[in-house]
Amino acid sequence: MEAKALLSKLIGRTGLQEQHVQMLRRLEPLMAPMASEIALAFYDYLGRDEEMRAILWETPGRVERLYQSFADWYRGLFCGVYDAEYAERRARIGLVHAAIGVKPSFIMPAFGIVQELSLEHLRNTLRSPEIFSAVEAFEKIMTIEAALMQDSYMQAMEYGYRLGVAADQEKALVAGARAMLGKAN
Residues that bind ligand HEM (CB under 6 A): 46, 52, 55-56, 59, 62, 65-66, 69-70, 73, 92-93, 96-97, 100, 102, 106-107, 110-111, 114
Candidates 181, 88, 91, 77; CA nearest to 121 is 77
Supply the minimum distance, in Å, between the C-beta of residue 129 and ligand HEM.
Answer: 29
Supply the minimum distance, in Å, between the C-beta of residue 54 and ligand HEM.
Answer: 8
Q: Are 70 and 102 in contact (CB under 8 A)?
A: no
Supply the minimum distance, in Å, between the C-beta of residue 73 and ligand HEM.
Answer: 4
DSSP state of 58: S
Supply the minimum distance, in Å, between the C-beta of residue 164 and ligand HEM.
Answer: 27
Sign, CA dihedral 56-68-146-98, equals negative
**Judged by CB, which is closer to ligand HEM: 111, or 161?**
111
**Judged by CB, which is closer to ligand HEM: 51, or 83?**
51
Burial of 128 (0-12, 13-18, 19+ CB in 10 A): exposed
